Structure 1
């Protein structure tokens, strides 16, 4: 009976060991299968992780390359507008050496022979008061026979009366005296008086060049003078002078101009 119990117990022990061994084997096999099944995915994940480069820090990031323009390129790229050229400044009118700028029509004369003839005026009441006053002062000085009386009327500096188309050197009164046929300058005074007692014209009204000019022949083509007007002309010039002027087509003897503010602008002769 004891042997039977021992045998039965040994059988149970053997069965238990067998069962444990089988379970262990199954567990090991299952673990191996699970490990084997999951290995490729894990390995692949590890490989991909190794291939990806580590992100660069801001300090290590390379700068972007910006293409520089071709320094030799002379034409603008397509679609670009060339720079607009700046407008050229007009050069001031050049004055020849020894030829001062002529103020307010001293050399105006007849610009267009076909232009309408200016109105010839004799009525002194139509003159502005400053013009009328300066004209009378000049006439009063001329009638004295003393050319020095013109000095305060001529003035000096930039506002001085123009006495020649060229630059006047030296004293203005000495220059006028030298133009006269006599040594005292009385001939030039007589011419000045004769000019200012003739008819006059009003030039460029309403402009900075506005002027009252004597004699009116200065602003008219000679060929358009009437017979009575030529009689007035011969009070100032000779017939020989007239023939010479016809070469130029305009009056070239002495003329005088006074600005609306009363400034004696010029007393000149010549072309």
Structure 2
């Protein structure tokens, strides 16, 4: 019993000392150890600025402004541009805005997309044609398809105000002249040219004027350098690309043309200009 009590007493004393050591160990831990000035996942937001000393308000930050026009002083309005963004001008020499006479360059002519008629209305087919013009066109196309050039004789007027077939000397027999002008010598090629021309678009020249006339093809009344690709296809149905280049050098259409007056008279069927 006495040994057992001694043993229990010693165990109790050791337990007390062990507890004391643990308390002392905890007391030696630095309270700031393992801490940081910020926490993970929290964004630091800066505090508003402190009031300026002496109670003065902080200087205001100027708002961003658009850049001032170069070459103008404060309060002055810049001069407007001399020409708008879409004004294309004919270039003058060395950028000089005027010519020798002090005349400013004129705007480029509009209408590059389609060739503009000089003084005419352009159309296709015969819907817009007066009845006499429509009837004669149909008759001439019928004769051209027949290949019989002699059938043209009743529609070719002679005399000073007759049908113009040439810009040269007066001819004795119009049908013989047309045969001689044809590559085959019989007038068939001439008829083919007439048919192709009458199937093309036409121009109503000087509408409602005393000298009004309907002209085939309409290429006689446009600036050839302004033709669009589809219009060039129409022209190349009548002439070759080489002929077209020659026309550009000449300054206008100079192949065959045919004119019918509003009263249905064949005014001319002639090559040249």
TM-score (norm 1): 0.56
- Distance in 1 of aligned mates of 2:167 and 2:255: 12
How far residue 226 of structure 1 moved from its aligned partner, in angstroms, is 0.5
* DSSP 3-state at the match of 1:201: strand
- Distance in 1 of aligned mates of 2:141 and 2:109: 34
* DSSP 3-state at the match of 2:122: coil
Cα 1:125/1:151, change in 2 over 3 Å: same
Alignment of structure 1 residues 25-174 onto 2, 5 Å: 117=117, 118-174=120-176
1:14-41, CA deviations, whole angstroms, 9 ceiling, x for partnerless residues? xxxxxxxxxxxxxxxxxxxxxxxxxxxx
Structure 2, unmatched stretches of 5+, are: 1-107, 111-115
CA contact (8 A) 2:215 2:258 kept: yes
Q: CA RMSD in A?
A: 1.8
TM-score (norm 2): 0.56
* DSSP 3-state at the match of 2:254: coil
* DSSP 3-state at the match of 1:257: strand
CA contact (8 A) 2:125 2:199 kept: no
How far residue 114 of structure 1 moved from its aligned partner, in angstroms, is 5.9
1:90-112, CA deviations, whole angstroms, 9 ceiling, x for partnerless residues? xxxxxxxxxxxxxxxxxxxxxxx
1:166-209, CA deviations, whole angstroms, 9 ceiling, x for partnerless residues? 23322010001111000211000000000001000101112121
Runs of 4+ in structure 1 deviating by more than 3 angstroms, as ranges, are 113-116
Alignment of structure 1 residues 230-269 onto 2, 5 Å: 230-269=232-271
Moved more, 216-225 or 151-160: 151-160
- Distance in 2 of aligned mates of 1:139 and 1:159: 23
- Distance in 1 of aligned mates of 2:171 and 2:262: 28
Which residue pairs with 1:56 in the alignment?
A: none
2:216 to 214, 217, 230: 214
- Distance in 2 of aligned mates of 1:223 and 1:140: 33
Structure 1, unmatched stretches of 5+, are: 1-112
- Distance in 2 of aligned mates of 1:119 and 1:260: 14
CA contact (8 A) 1:218 1:251 kept: yes
